[in-house]
Amino acid sequence: MCIFCKIINNEMPSSKVYEDKNYLAFKDINPKAPIHILIIPKQHIEYLSDIDDSNKHIIGDMAIIANKLAKELGIDKSGYRILINNGEDAGQEVFHIHMHLLGGKKMKFSV
């Protein structure tokens, strides 16, 4: 089972900030910004590239959760970034689709 599925099943600890029937959000263990949260579907999907017409609502649902959390955390006005890495060149480390929510500082764009 992947590490994010273990977090979903409470077999691994995490700092949860949001949970509903289908999604979970928790703090990134190695934050790259003052606010760094990961939003995941409870369904195990490995890649962004696995998203198609049948499951595209997952991307929208995660974005809505990111917006809600950004508001709660007070970064909705200052700005924030959402990010999904897909595959090796993007640096994907965990193969369970996740949306990063980053904020709390002025960010640069680097590749």
96 is catalytic: no
* Cβ distance to Zn ion smaller for residue 1 or 83: 1
Host H or E run for residue 26: strand 23-27
At 67 the three-state DSSP class reads helix
CA distances from 91 to 13, 76, 79, 88 (A): 24, 27, 24, 5
Asked if 107 interacts with ligand AMP (CB under 6 A), we say no
Distance, in Å, from the CA atom of 6 to the CA atom of 74, rounded to the nearest integer, reads 29
Q: In this chain, which of 1, 2, 22, 29 binds ligand AMP, going by CB under 6 A? A: 29
Positions that interact with Zn ion (CB under 5 A): 2, 4-5, 44, 96
Q: In this chain, which of 91, 106, 109, 111 binds ligand AMP, going by CB under 6 A? A: 91
Q: What are phi and psi of 34, to 5 degrees?
A: -55, -35
96 binds, among ligand AMP, Zn ion, none (CB under 5 to 8 A by kind): Zn ion
The single residue of 36, 44, 96, 98 carrying the catalytic annotation is: 98
Just list the catalytic residues: 98
